[in-house]
Structures are given as structure tokens and as C-alpha cells.
Amino acid sequence: MSTIRYLDHFEPSAFDLIIVGAGFYGATIAERAAELGKRVLVLDRRPHIGGNAYSENESETGIEVHKYGAHLFHTPNEAVWNYLNRFTSFTDYKHRVYTSLRGQVYSMPINLGTICQFFGRQMSPDDARRLVAEQAAEMADRIPSNLEEKAISLIGRPLYEAFIRGYTAKQWQTDPRDLPEYIITRLPVRYNFDNRYFNDRFEGLPVDGYTAIFEKMLSSPNISVALKTDYFALRDTIPKTIPVVYTGAIDRFFDFSHGELGWRTIDFETEVLHTGDFQGTAVMNYADESIPFTRILEFRHFNPERDYQTDKTVVVKEYSRSASKLDEPYYPINTPSDKEKYLKYKQMSENEGNVFFGGRLGTYRYLDMHQAIGAALKSFESEIAPRLKAQQE
């Protein structure tokens, strides 16, 4: 049972640190500050802790559902892994993804099995490398300047056109030629039959679910949490002497003074189906651009060790689109125009002496969970802890 101290009414001046956002970045800072004996107030406009990593059990089936899309924990960072293991243990889940294309199912990310199946013949690793190199030759020695060019340089045009172009256009609601090249580098290409999605040394899912992690991280008596609370409605009541960690959208913080940054959001369509297994795997991508959704999640497959009922299952279709001011911004699109705007906001943020910007929204960066935790730990040690300690002097 949660021991979090929830507040409906509070006086901002009673705290040593105020954190806007109860996701992994904010919760990590809160936990670290509380360990120093500091009084911490965490604000979140949502009715729950956990940010986008929040999970809950679906009422009809009891199956744990990640409310804001699939969250798969993985990291190469042993320090982050050890830190999070203070609050949870992990299953041995290894993420594997499949892609539907023109009525066929392929393994994803692209590996030797995908290549052999797509081109309809058995190939050795060297055969596949030579074929892909031939198909990528159109890039010659040119340095890729966008996602499309980077993808072609990695896998050639046929594989790019089949598996990447349509899915990416749906996912980002942006022409791949207008997206930064680094996005595609997150997806490995393998010349063996390894179909594990991530390469990281550490991987798994929290044994008791994601929300249980946050309940432990925020359980210190030095931490208070105010939900359904809009930071901007009370910003003027916060004394300037109290440090603020802000993990919301940076363009919103500055009232969109340099224009709106491009964000992608997701609409979720959840169904309870009367079958024990709908698709046989946790994630099925849909690469055909004519299919409006990007993927279907079946959450029972994330936790095969649990004793879920066998006559019903929960599936979630994801529809990606550009976000408006009224939507939840999930992912920064980061077109050249966005980069130009963000640099202006970043310069403004550097003049906010007692406000620290962090997290995916606050830094306009595509951060995985482990990267958000790592960035929070680093920021706490280098910036926030020294500021809090200085308060005592």
C-alpha cells in the first residue's frame, strides 16, 4: 500500500524544492533530494504519479496496461540499473517485435531472418552484407542529412521503402526526409538471426508494475505530492528563492514566445477481446501506410509469468498524430525549424537562474526511461544538490 503523502492544500514556501512532473526524471530528483533531508513538493496536473510510465490493471481482466503506450525497460548503464533496483526487481523479459507488411509477418528490427524472408532466399551473413551494400550504394560517400538518407545508407532503399518509410511517416506524421538522421540509429540492423529488439546488457519489466516503482520512490516523509495541480496556476505564488525542477514542455513554460515546437502525440484504442491470445506477441507493428494505426499492443505477453485469465485479453491500437496545445505531447519531432526554435528556448532557460529544465519535454530530447533517470542523477549531483546545500549557508 502506498505511503505517499498527498496534499490538497499547501503553502509553496514550506518546501526546499518544487518539482513539476511526477515521471521518472522528477521522481528521481525528488528521491535524491529527500535523502538529503530536504522538503520536496512534487506537482503533477494528471490524477496519478508516474508520468507516461504509469500503469494500471485493466478492470475487467486484471491485465496490467501501460496507459501511455508500451514501456520496456532496458539500459547499458549499470549505475542506472542498480539505482532502479532499489525500488523494484525485474523479470527476465526480453523484448521482441514483429512487423506486418502486405499480409506477411517479419521479425523486427531487421536481421538476417528478415532479409532472407523479404528477398525470398537463404543468405549467409556475408551474402546479406553484400546485397545491402549494393542497395545502399546510391548514398556513395555522402553524409546523411535526414532520416531517409541515413536509413538508405544502413539498409538500402528496398528494405527502407518496405519497413521504414511508411511506418515512420505514420509514426511521426512527418516526411522522413524532414526528420533528423539520429532517430533511425536507435534501431539496430543485424546480420544474424538474433531477433531481440534491444542490445542493452540490462533488460526486464518491473515485477510489480511501473506504478509500484513510483510509490516507493516518492514514499519518503520528506516528499509531498499534489496531483491535478497546474504549475502555471500557482507559479506566481512560489518564492523566487525556492529552486524549481521543471519537466513539462519547454515551449509552454515560455508561453510559446518563439512559436510552438513540433510534438507527436498518440491516440489509444483499447479493447477487451474474448480470446486468450489475439496476436501471439506483445507488439505487432504495421508497416503498410494504408493501415491507419502504427501498432497493436497485447499486454498479457509482457508478463507471461503472471496468472492472467485465459479467456480474455487486452489489446491497444496506437494512432500517431501531430499534437496541438490541448494534447499530451509525447515525442519531439525535431525538424530543422524545431531545432531553431528550441535553441532560442534553451537560451531563455539558461537565464532562469533557479529553474532547472529536465526530462523529455523540458529538454526537447527523445529520452528513454533509463536516459531520463541517468540525466536526473547527473543533474542532481552537478547542479541541484549544490544549490540545495547552498540554501543552508
Of 51, 31, 40, 46, whose CA–CA distance to 12 is shortest?
Answer: 40
pLDDT per position as a tens digit, 289-300: 999 999 999 999
| DSSP-derived pairing of the beta strands 97-101 and 73-75 | unpaired
Same domain (yes/no): 148, 36: no
Angle at 99 between CA 306 and CA 97, to 5 degrees: 35
| pLDDT, tens only, 115-162 | 999 999 999 999 999 999 999 999 988 999 999 999 999 999 999 999
Number of domains in the chain: 2
**Does any domain span residue 95?**
no
Tell me the pLDDT band of 268, cut-offs 50, 70 and 90: very high
Query: Does residue 289 belong to any structural domain of this protein?
Result: no
47 burial level (CB within 10 Å; 0-12, 13-18, 19+): exposed
Q: Residue 154 domain-assigned? A: yes
What is the model's pTM?
0.92
As a whole number, the mean pLDDT across the chain is 95
Q: Is residue 387 part of a domain?
A: yes
Catalytic residue among 190, 252, 300, 360: 190
Give yes or no for residue 90 having a pLDDT over 80.
yes
Cα(285)–Cα(296) distance, rounded to whole angstroms? Answer: 7
Question: Pick the catalytic residue: 203, 251, 318, 338?
Answer: 318
Q: Examine the pLDDT at 1 and tell me if it is beyond 60.
A: no
Is 366 among the residues known to form the active site?
yes
Cell of 299: 499486454
**How many CB atoms are closer than 10 A to CB 284?**
19
In a domain, 324, yes or no: no
CATH code for the domain in which residue 378 is found: 3.40.50.720
DSSP-assigned beta bridge partners for residue 271: 315
Decide if 160 is inside a domain.
Answer: yes
Whether residue 141 lies in the annotated active site:
no
User: Do 138 and 223 fall within a single domain?
Assistant: no
CA distance 361 to 367: 9
Q: How many CA atoms lie within 13 A of 206 on its CB side?
A: 25
Number of Cβ within a 10 Å radius of residue 12: 16
pLDDT for res 317 = 98
Residue whose C-alpha is closest to residue 272's, from 71, 65, 70: 65
Mean pLDDT of all residues in 293-313: 97
Percent of the residues in the chain that have a pLDDT greater than 70, as a whole number: 99
Higher pLDDT, 237 or 188: 237
Note whether 16 and 49 are same-domain residues.
yes
In a domain, 277, yes or no: no
Both 227 and 364 in one domain: the answer is yes
CA gap 36, 386 in Å, rounded: 11
Cβ atoms of 280 and 352 within 8 Å: the answer is no
**The pLDDT value given to residue 180:** 83
Closest among 208, 236, 184 to 84, alpha carbons compared: 208
* 160-163 contacts, C-beta under 8 A, 24 or more apart: 162/101, 162/118, 162/287, 163/99, 163/101, 163/106, 163/108, 163/110, 163/114, 163/287
From the candidates 295, 300, 308, 338, give the one annotated as an active-site residue: 295
| Catalytic, out of 203, 251, 338, 368 | 368
User: Is 318 in the active site?
Assistant: yes
pLDDT value at 187 more than 80? no
What pLDDT score does 331 carry?
87
165-169, 222-226, 246-250, 344-348: least confident range: 165-169
Of the residues 264, 298, 331, 364, which is catalytic? 264
Average pLDDT over residues 157-186: 88
pLDDT in tens, 69-83: 999 999 999 999 999
Residue 280 placed within a domain: no
Residue 279 CA to its chain's centroid (Å): 24
Chain position carrying cell 499534489: 226
Task: Look at 168-177, 230-239, 288-297, 370-379 and tell me which has the smallest mean pLDDT.
Answer: 168-177
Q: Which three cell numbers stand for residue 219?
A: 514514499
Residue 391 has pLDDT above 80, yes or no: no
Domain check: are 211 and 155 in the same one?
no
- Provide the pLDDT for residue 345: 98
Kindly state whether residues 141 and 252 are assigned to the same domain. Answer: no
d(CA 237, CA 226): 15
Tell me which residue range forms the domain holding 357.
Answer: 5-57+206-261+334-391
pLDDT score of 181: 84
Q: Phi/psi of residue 162, each to 5°?
A: -75, -50
Catalytic residue among 191, 319, 330, 366: 366
Average pLDDT over residues 172-181: 86
Annotated catalytic residue, options 130, 142, 177, 186: 186
Residue 368 is a catalytic residue: yes
Q: Which residues pair with 55 in a beta bridge?
A: 66
User: Mean of the pLDDT values across residues 165-192?
Assistant: 86
Same domain flag for 372 and 255 = yes
Percent of the chain with pLDDT over 90: 88
